[in-house]
Amino acid sequence: MDKSSHFIVSIVLFLFTIINFSWSQGDQRNVICTKIERDALLNFKKGLNDSSNRLSSWAGEECCTWMGVQCNNATRHVIHLDLRNTYGWESQLSGYVSSSLLELKHLSYLDLSWNNFGGSHVPPFLGSLHNLRYLDLSEAGFDGVESLQWVSHLSSLQYLDMTRVRIVNSSDWLNMPPSLLKLRLSECDLDGIPSLSNVNFTSLVSLDLSWNHINSSIPNWLFNHRDLASLNLGGNNFHGPIPGAFVNLNSLKVLDLSLNHFNPKVLPYWIYNLTNLVHLDLSNNDLQGRILNDIGNLTSLNYLDLRYNKLEDELPSTLGNLCSLEYVDLSYNDFTGEMFRFLKNSSQCIVHSLRYLVLESNQLSGPIPESLGLISRLERFHISNNSLKGVLTEVHFGNLRSLDSLDMSSNLLVLNVSSNWVPPFRLEGKLRMGSCQMGPQFPTWLKTQRNFTELDLSNAGIADFIPNWFWNLPSKVSFVDLSENHIKGVLPNPLKFGNLQTSTDVYLGSNHLEGALPRLSSKVSILDLTNNKLSGSISPFLCNPMEEDNWLANLDLSHNFLSGELPQCWMHWKFLQLIKLGHNSLTGTIPSSIGSLVSLISLNLRNNNLYGEIPSSVRNLTNLMVIDIGLNNFSGNIPTWVGKSFPNLIVLVLRANKFKGVIPLELCRVSSLQILDLAHNNLSGTIPRCLYNLSAMATEKNTSNAYLYRTPVMPNGDWLGDLNDEIQLMVKGVEREYSKTLTLVTSLDLSSNNLTGKIPMEITSLLSLQSLNFSGNHLTGKIPIKIGNMRSMESLDFSVNHLSGVIPPSFSNLSFLSSLNLAYNNLSGVIPLTTQFQTFNASSYIGNPELCGPPLKKKCKEAETSPGQDADSEESEVDWLYVSMALGFVVGFCGFFMILLFKKSWRFALFGFVEDMTDKLCIMCKL
């Protein structure tokens, strides 16, 4: 079918709709619907649950005036039933689809979409409605359909939408009527496409198979549909090359191949030959290469989405010639060079069409030209996380009256506008200008923006007080970040942010705020006030909650000057998931009410003056993944329930307290534990052999997920986002902070205690351990000879113990080892001469009088064990001695036996000798 015939089909469809509408919308007062069809509709209604009374008009005799019902004015038959829910979930119809619909024999249009039919199957009797031309069952809560065989009976069907209807038997879904023009089977759990040379729906102009589980190459029969104008195959697992046969689909206007696994991952050249393309989406495919200037051939292109690929080089200047282009998203690639080559010439027609420009997270550089201000239709402008630099003035925003969302954060830009500047835009989306220098005064132009949803002015050089008008934030704001500035002053009390209607994340950390903690608005979900100068007691903040239920889930008050005791008020904060009160001057014990925080994931009380034992109520916090109460004065034994109550525990830091007793064996049950720090306590006993059960220290970490946890916690169902915790660890003798990569870190530190006994051989099973510190104890015996199995080791400290024996040569297998300390032990022998050991200086071995060789000044005697000899060489030599003796005996005996076998005279002599000796022994025995 050529372009003209495709045009005719479109006209026919249009006329059909108009005629259908005119028939049904004619003088309905003259139409009296038939009793059979009226009764059929009423019986159909009986099968429905209509909690919102959407069908309240379904009464009386004239069914043609009922909501959603249309009749043919000439024949009085019901031809159109539209029950699509456009009012929200509370207006969904439920129940079941009654077979009484079969009485509507002239029905040509049926729409039941966006309702909730409770997981029931799509009734196959719909295949008996032979006049159906339009059928929409999408998003209607149908659980599935056993087969689509019934669709083949609808010989007039032109439109079918079954989005999110699970197709159980997917082998026959291609059996569609030839009349079909548009087919949508998105999110239907299709697991494959049958390999056919041809299919019978030859008139198809629109096909949507997106978001299924199709794991195959793109089928060849697609390319027989020369009239195909819209094709969506996004969100599947298509693999293999992107077929060049796409170039044959010269009627194609919409092409979506996003989120697949094509290989080779190369941006195909034939794209530039599809000159009728209006919509192109190749995002999330890891495609490589560059965008050629040939993209200028796509003069009809309106929508271009190539985000989340690995495209590189400069953006082609021919983009500026695409006069229809409205939407451009090239974010999360590797583009370099100047961002606005295609905007430098203000005469380029893209200036008059562009509405969405998203180029964030690339490597683009250079200044932003003033011609940006000429794009009067621009609504979204996101260029964050690049290397752009230069000064932005009022001219850059001159005609951006339509701007709705602005993100220029994480660049090297400077905003230089007058104090009375009034921007031409009124943002209703993002306002993110983090790292864009605009201080030292607080930006007064912000007063004109009253509808944004996100605000980021972090690291903006602001060194001012926050004005009172600022706190009256827009009601829909969900994110506020003023951190990493030099903001000073006292927070208002109570700390309210206008009439918030949604949960809001507030980041005010790393400033110079001072004074007491204020009462908090109930809608705040994250409050970050870390690294300020706040002082006083925490009790008024915790014990005076707002009247409404508060939504606070993440509380960070660390690195301030807070003092006093932790109050018994934690029961008011039931949604808390993360508490960070570290690096303050808090005193007292941990209150038992903290055990009421059953949603708590992370508890950080590090570096305060807290004391006493860990209260038993803490065992109620079974969701805990991080516990850091190091650098306090806690005492008593480590509770055995720590190893039983926290099945998901990743981090346990009890460092620098006064814990005593033995290390409880129950800790070995916490297989998820990746960081265990019990250093600088008064622990005694031996190192538990069962530590090899800490499987998270023995298995390879998943580098694709560098975030600690992500969970929906808000009472309104909102996502809280990624909760990234920070932990301080002593690694290589230096305290380091880990946050986003925390789940990739493994560390075991038992240093500076009173532990005795040997280092258990089982510890070498922790193959993924990166940092191991047993220093400052009373350990004896030898270093395990299998220490070289721990190939992930980066830092190892066994210093200040009583270890003896030689240094195992298997150390040379630790190719990542960059910090080693074996000082002040009783080690002996030669320091191995491998490259790895020569990188460490003498301080790593000092205090071992019997050690010799570089880098120590003590030279080795000739009789010393040679470098590289095994640590158990003495035992090895003894073993080989016995082996040699045994082999010598066997060889000698076999040789002697072989001589006797072939030497007759020797045989007789031997037997004679044996006989004589036997006689003599018998005589001696008689005597």
For residue range 656-693, what is the model confidence (pLDDT) as tens digits? 999 999 999 999 999 999 999 999 999 999 999 999 99
Q: What letter would DSSP give residue 763?
A: G
Give pLDDT tens digits for 235-267: 998 999 999 999 999 999 999 999 999 998 999
| pLDDT for 500 beyond 80 | yes
Residue 622's nearest CA partner among 650, 592, 601, 607 is 601
The predicted pLDDT at position 371 comes to: 87
| pLDDT for 214 beyond 70 | yes
Cis amide leading into 440 (omega within 30): yes
The predicted pLDDT at position 119 comes to: 81
Using alpha carbons, list the distances in angstroms from residue 568 to 105, 481, 595, 835: 71, 31, 10, 58
The predicted pLDDT at position 12 comes to: 41
Cα R_g (the chain), whole angstroms = 39
Q: What is the Cβ-side half-sphere exposure of residue 639, based on CA atoms within 13 angstroms?
A: 15
The predicted pLDDT at position 31 comes to: 59
Residue 649's nearest CA partner among 678, 669, 679, 629 is 669
The predicted pLDDT at position 894 comes to: 53
Averaged pLDDT of the chain: 86
Residue boundaries of the structural domains of the chain: 885-926
* pLDDT (average), residues 92-115: 96
290's tokens: 């560059």
38's tokens: 């009226």
H or E element: which one contains 781?
strand 778-782
The predicted pLDDT at position 887 comes to: 56
Q: Taking phi first (over 0 means left), then psi (-120 to 50 degrees means alpha), and beta for anything else, what does residue 246 get?
A: alpha
Using alpha carbons, list the distances in angstroms from residue 78 to 25, 41, 83, 288, 716: 12, 10, 14, 55, 42
Give pLDDT tens digits for 289-338: 999 999 999 999 999 999 999 999 999 989 988 999 999 999 999 999 98
* pLDDT (average), residues 113-132: 92
How many Å apart are CA 788 and CA 793, to the nearest integer? 9
166's tokens: 């699970």
Please report which confidence band the pLDDT of residue 707 belongs to, taking 50, 70 and 90 as the band edges.
very low
How many Å apart are CA 11 and CA 7, to the nearest integer? 6
Q: What letter would DSSP give residue 465?
A: B
How many Å apart are CA 837 and CA 858, to the nearest integer? 16
Q: What letter would DSSP give residue 179?
A: T
* pLDDT (average), residues 442-457: 96
Burial 442-471 (b: 16+ CB within 10 A, else e): bbbbbeebeebbbbbbbbbbbebebeeebe
The predicted pLDDT at position 863 comes to: 52
Lowest mean pLDDT segment, chosen from 23-27, 64-68, 647-651, 823-827:
23-27
* pLDDT (average), residues 169-181: 81
| pLDDT for 712 beyond 90 | no
The predicted pLDDT at position 701 comes to: 59
| pLDDT for 467 beyond 80 | yes
What is the percent of the chain where pLDDT is above 70?
83
| pLDDT for 108 beyond 90 | yes
What is the percent of the chain where pLDDT is above 90?
68
The β-bridge partners of 827 are 805
* pLDDT (average), residues 545-555: 80
Please report which confidence band the pLDDT of residue 706 belongs to, taking 50, 70 and 90 as the band edges.
very low
Query: Helix crossing, 873-902 with 904-926: angle to 10°?
Result: 100
* pLDDT (average), residues 179-188: 94
| pLDDT for 917 beyond 70 | no
Rounded (10°) CA dihedral 206, 211, 213, 214: 30
Q: What is the Cβ-side half-sphere exposure of residue 444, based on CA atoms within 13 angstroms?
A: 7
Lowest mean pLDDT segment, chosen from 201-205, 497-501, 685-689:
497-501
How many Å apart are CA 449 and CA 426, to the nearest integer? 6
The predicted pLDDT at position 885 comes to: 52
How many Å apart are CA 629 and CA 605, to the nearest integer? 5
How many Å apart are CA 59 and CA 923, to the nearest integer? 134
Burial 529-539 (b: 16+ CB within 10 A, else e): bbbbebebbbe
The β-bridge partners of 556 are 528, 580
How many Å apart are CA 356 and CA 302, to the nearest integer? 11
CA angle 718, 723, 729 (to 5 degrees): 170
The predicted pLDDT at position 89 comes to: 87
Give pLDDT tens digits for 569-600: 999 898 999 999 999 999 999 999 999 999 99
Higher pLDDT, 497 or 581: 581
Please report which confidence band the pLDDT of residue 916 belongs to, taking 50, 70 and 90 as the band edges.
low
Q: What is the Cβ-side half-sphere exposure of residue 107, based on CA atoms within 13 angstroms?
A: 26
The predicted pLDDT at position 726 comes to: 67
Lowest mean pLDDT segment, chosen from 132-146, 537-551, 629-643, 759-773:
537-551
- 3-state helix vs strand vs coil in the chain, percent to 5: 25, 25, 55
| pLDDT for 907 beyond 60 | no
Other CB atoms within 10 Å distance of the CB of residue 651: 26
Is 792 within 8 Å of 768 (Cβ atoms)?
yes
The predicted pLDDT at position 174 comes to: 78
* pLDDT (average), residues 18-25: 44
The predicted pLDDT at position 169 comes to: 67
Give pLDDT tens digits for 733-746: 677 766 656 668 89
Q: What letter would DSSP give residue 121?
A: B
The predicted pLDDT at position 292 comes to: 94
Lowest mean pLDDT segment, chosen from 143-147, 500-504, 597-601, 885-889:
885-889
Phi and psi dihedrals of 331, rounded to 5? -70, 160
The predicted pLDDT at position 600 comes to: 96
Q: 857: helix, coil or strand?
A: coil
The predicted pLDDT at position 501 comes to: 83
How many Å apart are CA 316 and CA 257, to the nearest integer? 22
Give pLDDT tens digits for 772-794: 999 999 999 999 999 999 999 99
Lowest mean pLDDT segment, chosen from 137-151, 162-176, 261-275, 410-424:
162-176
The predicted pLDDT at position 732 comes to: 64
| pLDDT for 231 beyond 90 | yes
